Amino acid sequence: MTDALRLVGGRVYDPANGLDGVVADVCVEGGRIVATVPDTARRIDVGGMVVMPGGVDIHSHVAGASVNAARRLLPEEHAADAEPAPALAPGEPRARSGSGGTVPTTFTTGYRYAGLGYTTVFDAAVAPLYARTSHAELDDTPIVDAGFYVLVGNDAYLWQLIRTGDRARAQHYVAWLLSAAGGYALKVVNPGGVEMWKRGHRGRIGLDDPLGSDSLTPRAILDTLCDAAEALRLPHATHIHCNDLGLAGNVATTLATMQALSGRRAHFTHIQFHAYAAAADGRRMSGARDLVEYINQHPEVSADVGQVMFGPATTLTADGVVEYLLYKSSGRKWVNSDIELETGCGIVPHAYRERQAVAALQWVVGLELFLLAADPWRVVLSTDHPNGGSFMAYPELMRLLMDRAYRDECLKRVNATLLQGSALADGLSREYTLNEIAIVTRAGPARLLGLKHKGQLGVGADADITVYMPNPDQSVMFATPRFVIKSGIVVVEEGQLRRAPSGRRLHVRPAHDRTIEAPLRSFFERHATVSFDNYPVGALRDDPVPTT
Ligand SMILES: [Zn+2]
C-alpha cells in the first residue's frame, strides 16, 4: 500500500515551505513526498479540501508505567467509552478493541491519534528504569511514529556528578542514559523538588536552594542538562517542567528559570501551569502577559502551552509533589510512587469545570499564551494529554483559537472570580489562520524536535499527510479528517480508519566515553535493584535519529 499516489487539487498549508493555502497536487511514492508520479499512479481528488502535514504532538503521555497505572485507576472510564475494533480494509491484520476515556488503551491511542490526523507523538516523561515498558507499549500503539523523553535531573547519579563538580562526566552519563533507555530527549521535572520531597522536604525549592550541598542546586541541574543537550547536539532541546507548578506567583520562578538559561536553547513545557501571578490576597491571577513578553523577545526559548480544556482529565506527572497537593485539595483517588534512584510519580483523576474559579483561570491563561505569542513556531499546541485534557480535545482547542465569536461566547460562561487583569477578559481579537494552526500543530513541533522530514511536505519529507474537509465549525473539520496518509499508506479513507500499520520508534543514540561505565556499574551494584547489564533496553527495530 505504499504505491505511488497523487492528491489532486487540494489547498496546501505547508508553512515550512511557504505554502499558505496554495492549490497544488501532492505526490507520494515509497513512503516519501516526491515531485511527481507516473500517470498510472492512484489519484485522489481532494479539490476544495485542506491539505496539511500530519500532526506532531510534542508533549503527551501515552505509554509506560505511569500511564498504565493511570489506566488502572479509572475502570469507570473504560466501561463508559468502550472502543470496538475498527473495521479495517480486507487483508489488513486484525484490529484490536480497547477503551478510551482520558487515558485510552494502547491500540485505541494509536487509532484515535491517527483519526485526528496526528502521525507523530512523544511521551514526555519516562523513567529510564521503566523504559522497557514504554517501548513495549509503543510497540502496541499503531500508526504513529513515537518516542519518549527520558526523566533526568532528580536522579542520584547525576546529583553525585554535579556535587563533585564533574560536569564533563555528566554529559557522557546522560548520553549513556538516552542510549540505554532508547529515548529521544532529556526531560527535567521540578529540578531538585521531586527528590527533596521524597526525602521528606515539604516546602518550595527555589532555583538557588542547596540540595544537601552548596554546589548542587536546581540551577546547577538545569545548567548541566542544557549544556549536555547542546554538547551532544541532541535534536530537541532539554524539555523543562519548571519548579512550582500550579502555585500562585509561579510565573516569577518560570521567568527566573528562563533567565538562568538565557542564550541557550531550552524548551519549556505546559507553560500554562507555570504562568500564574499572585494577587494581593495571595490568590492566583494571570501572569501570561509577562511570560509571553519574555518568550517573544528570546528566540532561543520555545514552549508548548498545556491548555486546560473543560471536562474530565487525569493528572499524571513525575512531579509527585504537585499530585500530593492536588490529592489533599480534591480528596480523589491518588497514586504516588517512588522510582528508585531516579524520580517520582503521582496520579490524580481530575475534572476542569467552567464554574470553578481556578479551572476558568487556567483555561484563560492558556488561551492568552496562544493569542499573545508573536511567533507560533515557538509556542506550540498541547494539552499535556491527559493532564489539561485529552488529545481528543485538540479540535475544540483549534476552534477556540480560530473563532473569536465562539471563544467570547465560551468566556461568558466561565467563573470570572480570578480574571482581573486578564488579557482575554479585556478582549483579544486575534484569530488563528489555517496556516498558523498548521504551524502550532505540525511544522513548529517538528522543527523544535529537530525532525527534518516531518511537519512539512517538501520533496523527500515523510509522506505523513492529513486532508480535511472545510467546515464553518473548525472543531468538526479537525475532528474528522477525510484522508490521513502515514508513511505513504492511506490509513484514513473517506473518514474511516482502514489501515493500521506499525509506526516507527524515534530515538537517539549519542556517543559516550566508555570509561564512565565502570563507575556506573559499581554504582548500580551498590544502590540499584536492577543490575547494570539488565538496565539498557538494547537494540531497537528502527535506526536512531542522527544527532549531528
Ligand atoms: Zn506532561
- Ligand 1 centre from 436 Cα, in Å? 23
- Ligand 1 centre from 387 Cα, in Å? 7
> What percent of the chain has a predicted confidence (pLDDT) above 70?
100
Grid cell 490524580 is found at 348
Instruction: Kindly report, residue by residue over 8-56, the tens digit of the pLDDT.
Output: 999 999 999 999 999 999 999 999 999 999 999 999 999 999 999 999 9
pTM of the model: 0.98
- Ligand 1 centre from 336 Cα, in Å? 16
**Helix or strand or coil: residue 313?**
strand
Strand segments, DSSP code E, in 242-364 are: 266-268, 276-278, 284-286, 301-304, 311-317, 335-339, 343-352
- Ligand 1 centre from 59 Cα, in Å? 6
- How confident is the model at residue 253, as a pLDDT? 98
- Ligand 1 centre from 475 Cα, in Å? 24
Q: Give the residue-averaged pLDDT of 121-138.
A: 97
Q: Which residues have CB atoms below 5 A from the ion given as ligand 1?
A: 124, 384
- Ligand 1 centre from 344 Cα, in Å? 13
- Ligand 1 centre from 149 Cα, in Å? 10
- Ligand 1 centre from 123 Cα, in Å? 8
What value does the mean pLDDT of the chain take? 97
In sequence order, which residues have a C-beta less than 8 Å from that of residue 41 and are 6 or more positions away?
Answer: 3, 4, 5, 6, 27, 29
- How confident is the model at residue 548, as a pLDDT? 72
| pLDDT for 1 beyond 60 | no
- Ligand 1 centre from 306 Cα, in Å? 8
Output the CA–CA distances (angstroms, integers) from residue 421 to 40, 288, 310, 500, in the order listed. Answer: 61, 10, 22, 48
- Ligand 1 centre from 488 Cα, in Å? 30
- Ligand 1 centre from 385 Cα, in Å? 7
- Ligand 1 centre from 382 Cα, in Å? 9
Across-strand partners of 145? 120
Q: Is the peptide bond before 104 cis (omega within 30 degrees of 0)?
A: no
- Ligand 1 centre from 270 Cα, in Å? 7
In sequence order, which residues have a C-beta less than 8 Å from that of residue 338 and are 6 or more positions away?
Answer: 198, 344, 345
- Ligand 1 centre from 384 Cα, in Å? 5
- Ligand 1 centre from 48 Cα, in Å? 37
Instruction: Kindly report, residue by residue over 288-307, the tens digit of the pLDDT.
Output: 999 999 999 999 999 999 99
- Ligand 1 centre from 317 Cα, in Å? 6
- Ligand 1 centre from 318 Cα, in Å? 8
- Ligand 1 centre from 299 Cα, in Å? 23
CA separation for the pair 496, 53 (Å, rounded): 19
Instruction: Kindly report, residue by residue over 170-225, the tens digit of the pLDDT.
Output: 999 999 999 999 999 999 999 999 999 999 999 999 999 999 999 999 999 999 99
- How confident is the model at residue 2, as a pLDDT? 60
Across-strand partners of 99? 82
- Ligand 1 centre from 58 Cα, in Å? 10
Strand segments, DSSP code E, in 70-134 are: 82-83, 98-99, 118-126
**Helix or strand or coil: residue 388?**
coil
CA separation for the pair 103, 389 (Å, rounded): 10
